Amino acid sequence: MNALGKCLGTLLLLGLCSMANAFDLQQLSAQLARPDVIHGQFIQEKRLRALPQPLTSKGTFVLAKNHGLLWLLKTPLQQDYRITATGIARRDASGWQMLPGKSAGAEQNRLFLAVLQGDSSGLQRDFELSLSGDAQDWALKLTPRSMLLKQVFNQINITGGELVNSIELLETQGDSTLLRMQDSTSAQPLSDTEQHDFAE
């Protein structure tokens, strides 16, 4: 093969490689929306300007398509939350109690649900999205659009592979939250207890 042929062959190969690597938001959404149920553990580090050490909390989560998110805090205190399209509920001695829908925490949890479920259309209403990487190792940057969100967040960074690995919230006041999802698996169906928690 002459030099020109080699050069054309190389260019063609590079073109095919770049086409194969053009991982977009639609593909990411489809990838994250694929599993019916995801179980995992989380570590959340909240860094406050006023404190030298981050506040760390740990627990487990269950994300179920068409149901929502169970967020089960284990340490430093035990507290169960259920996040669905209808709102956020906290479990107390008498069962699940709905929380007021307009709190900052409610917005943050709604955001988590959209991210974990791969709802890019929902995110695009509120944020400019910038995606880099490929299906096995990607990073998504969210920059707030609305004045309300701009007052709370500077930026949100999300990383992942097959599933979401981490969510970092950078707040305008200088505080930040890093949420790391660990040992996530889509191999287990909902248990009877989890089905009951979503149904209540």
CATH number of the domain that 101 lies in? 2.50.20.10
Q: What's the average model confidence in pLDDT over 122-131?
A: 85
Q: Which residue has the higher pLDDT, 22 or 49?
A: 49
| Residue 65 within any structural domain of the chain | yes
Distance CA 92, CA 153 (A): 30
| Residue 109 within any structural domain of the chain | yes
Q: Is the pLDDT of residue 10 over 50?
A: no
Please, which pLDDT band fits residue 14 given cuts at 50, 70 and 90? very low
| Residue 5 within any structural domain of the chain | no
How many domains in the chain? 1
| Residue 19 within any structural domain of the chain | no
| Residue 68 within any structural domain of the chain | yes
| Residue 112 within any structural domain of the chain | yes
How many CA atoms within 13 Å lie on the side-chain side of 145?
9
Q: What pTM was computed for the model? A: 0.80
Task: Judge contact between 135 and 30, C-beta under 8 A.
Answer: no
| Residue 99 within any structural domain of the chain | yes
